[in-house]
Amino acid sequence: MQLTLLVLAGDATLTCIRVFPFAAPILFGALLANNTFIGTLAAFIVILLIWLMRPSYRYGGTSIGRNDAPQLYAAVDDLKKTLDVDPRIDVRLDDEVNAGAREARGLFGIIGNRRVLTLGVPLLALLGKDEVRAVIAHEMGHFSRRHGRLGHWLYQAHLGWLAHAEQIDSESSMLDRAGASFAERFAPVLNRRALVWSRRCEYEADADADAARAVGGEHLVSALARLDAFSSWSNKELPRIVLGWQCSEPTPPDNCLERMINAFEGTSPDPGTAIDANEASHSLDWLDTHPTLVKRAAALGLQPTIAPREGPGGSALFGDRWSTVATEYNNRWREAKAVEWSAAHTRYRLIEAPLLAAEPEAVASWPLTRQLERARALRRLEPKRGLAELAALHAATPDHRNIAFAYAAARLAEDDGSAVEAMRMIAKEDASWRAAAYARLMRHFERIGDRASAHRWARLLERAGESEMRAYELVCGGLVSGEHSPTTRTAPLIEVLRAGLAAEPAVAKAFLVESQAPLVVAEKAAGASLRADALILIADPFDAMQKPYDVDAIKTRHQQVLSDLTEANTLAVVISFYTTEPLPSALHDTLEQHPTSCIYIR
């Protein structure tokens, strides 16, 4: 009851703050008019504003009709009867290794309830038939217990306040700033109660799944254990496996889902290792809505084990349609990974393979920057050898900032707590490394489950990020004004970027340039100067089917490729223009003078 009252109060307060600036003049005008019709109209408009400005949730994934998956719906119908769930459920598929149950208001967010069961395609490929049915039974348990009724208001209050606070800056109104200040105090109070309630809901849904006798708690525990093992494996092993595929294959495979599951199954996952890792990472974590596997299994009177899997649950529940579902997932995955994959393959071929093929005697005579490149390449492809080489470089040149950062970052990635102080000192001594150092410290503490320390570094990262964002804006302004130079990066690096651009059908032309921007860290503190590598993209607005390209997603992909290729204290800047618009005159005149070596043309 306390949680319900808190959620409703928070939701009402958020609604008032959002609606008040628009509703106040309307109500004030109606009061001055003192007319029944105008007063009624004003009340209607205010109610309409409240409805329009409330947070909304868009369901992801693709709806699956009953005729498309009769076996799946037969299993769902059977569980609905067993658990006494309303028959109207929208079943959807998405690309997550997860499943979810969401219940919200129906028509116009007012009339009736809408229940959506979402199943991830990778989850269906990973789990066996009985395990998938157990997961569905668990999600049905949320519907049976009506968890979504309060969960809907939790979403409105919690995520609504977070979204509101993110939009507030120094130019916002006094009311908005007061609301953001309230959100900083309200969210922790709500979280403490909401997370206890959420974990209780998981236990109740587990119990309902166990009560479904055709499924049984042992299948649910096996599914949870397999998912935990897969999560641990995908975090530690899958990136290295995918990198190996990228090195040897120029384009993403058309059977990535099957490859991924087969690679996992080939490791003979040890549930004990995954359980220990899961327990360690959650030991200090009070922001996780789900209890740990050990606690959930204990509540059912079972031990965490992974049962043998006869085959993927997807083929059992979808029949002949499963191949189509898997192919559609693979196509989406290929499209999403095309740029990253092409760049990674070219990077290995032109940069990393020659570095790794060199004899030790030749490596010893290289400049430090090239030795560091080799150590970083080893770190990507052979982590232990790369860490050892970074350690040797750091021992030989302890004052080399790039080497010190790379070595500390590698140790933090191995969750070596002794590297925390080294990384902190790098950030303290050189402002240009702060954002990169704080990001790695934050991720380290997130991995080990120390939320308090992760939050502290996240706050420092936010401040450092604000300084970098100001520098980023200065660089963007300078680019448009023609204040930049042709890149001095090496030809292999430029070719890697070209390979990524060639995999992007929207980009017609691109230029790689460089610039610098001041980094102001505080009003009275000495700042630093950041180097900026910038990609200027000229993109088509529509594809061949006249559908608009997502230019923001395109920029993000190429910014990530550029960032991976350059130093961690370098700004990776990407700006874009459409092929249908003229470039600013100063930018156009400057780019015309650049050599063809820094230009990509489709």
pTM of the predicted model as reported, rounded to 2 decimal places: 0.84
The per-residue DSSP string of 479-546 comes to HHTT--EE----HHHHHHHHHHHHT-TTEEEEEEEEEEEEE--SSSS--EEEEEEEEEEEE-SB-TTS
CB 521 within 8 A of CB 431: yes
Give the pLDDT of residue 359. Answer: 92
The per-residue DSSP string of 49-67 comes to HHHHHS------SEE--TT
Give the pLDDT of residue 7. Answer: 74
Q: Which of 51, 153, 44 is nearest to 109 (CA)?
A: 51
Give the pLDDT of residue 368. Answer: 93
What does the domain layout of the chain look like in residue ranges? 2-53, 60-152+209-346, 480-601
CA dihedral 80, 145, 305, 71 (to 10 degrees): 20
Name the token pair of 344: 């990674």
Q: Which of 520, 516, 528 is nearest to 573 (CA)?
A: 516
Give the pLDDT of residue 350. Answer: 96
CB 326 within 8 A of CB 234: no
Q: Measured between alpha carbons, how far apart are the two ends of the chain, in Å?
A: 62
Give the pLDDT of residue 527. Answer: 59
The low-confidence residues of the chain, meaning pLDDT below 70, are 53-59, 104-112, 149-173, 175-177, 179-180, 182-184, 187-188, 211-214, 268-288, 522-527
Half-sphere exposure (CA, 13 Å, Cβ side) for 260? 26
Give the pLDDT of residue 281. Answer: 54
Question: Is 480-601 assigned to CATH 3.90.350?
Answer: no
CB 59 within 8 A of CB 301: no
Q: Given the structure tokens 């889902």, which residue do they identify?
A: 257
Contacts of 66 by beta carbon, 8 Å cutoff, 6+ apart: 73
The dihedrals phi and psi of 546, each to the nearest 5 degrees, come to 65, 30
Give the pLDDT of residue 525. Answer: 47
Q: What is the 3-state secondary structure (H, E, C) of 381-425?
A: HCHHHHHHHHHHHHHHCCCCHHHHHHHHHHHHHCCCCCHHHHHHH
Q: Report the alpha-carbon distance of residue 156 to residue 534 in Å, rounded.
A: 39
Name the token pair of 505: 């059908």
